Amino acid sequence: MINPSIKLTISKTALNREKKLLSPRKLDHSRISDPNDYFIWSDLIDMCDTKEKFTRNAIYEAIQATIACIQTDIKLWILKLEDSDSSLFFKMSSKLEIIKYEINLIELGGEAVKLVNLVD
């Protein structure tokens, strides 16, 4: 069994290494509003569910294609989804429930990082 304090130290170390990475490249245009871009929320989640490793830029582009945040008094999250007839639509929520998802980052040697840390 792992000592909880050791696990916390490992998580903090990974987060610190993550924060030291260069900022990802900002896209020239918004992918989430592009009607010809069919990369959707479930595709981003599929990236988390695989053993494949991704660059930070690839992950950031996937995030920009599927999630947007509007912040006024509260945060409003917008997710791009696809319905049963393959039409795109947007879902809005005051909470983004992604705490359990992790994605493997090439820049950290393939180490899994929490998706929430990359979205915030």
Query: So where are the chain's domains?
Result: 4-119
Secondary structure (DSSP) of 20-63: TSPPPPPPSS-STT-TT----HHHHHHHHTSS-EE-HHHHHHHH
Least confident window among 11-25, 68-82, 100-114: 11-25
Query: Tokens 């040697």 map to which residue?
Result: 109
Q: Are 55 and 110 spatial neighbours (Cβ–Cβ below 8 Å)?
A: no
pLDDT band at 112; cut points 50, 70, 90: very high
Is residue 45 over pLDDT 60? yes
pLDDT band at 76; cut points 50, 70, 90: very high
pLDDT band at 72; cut points 50, 70, 90: confident
Distance CA(45)–CA(83), nearest Å, equals 16
Residue 81's alpha-carbon distances to 8, 41, 45, 74, 99, in angstroms, are: 34, 6, 12, 22, 19
Higher pLDDT, 84 or 20: 84
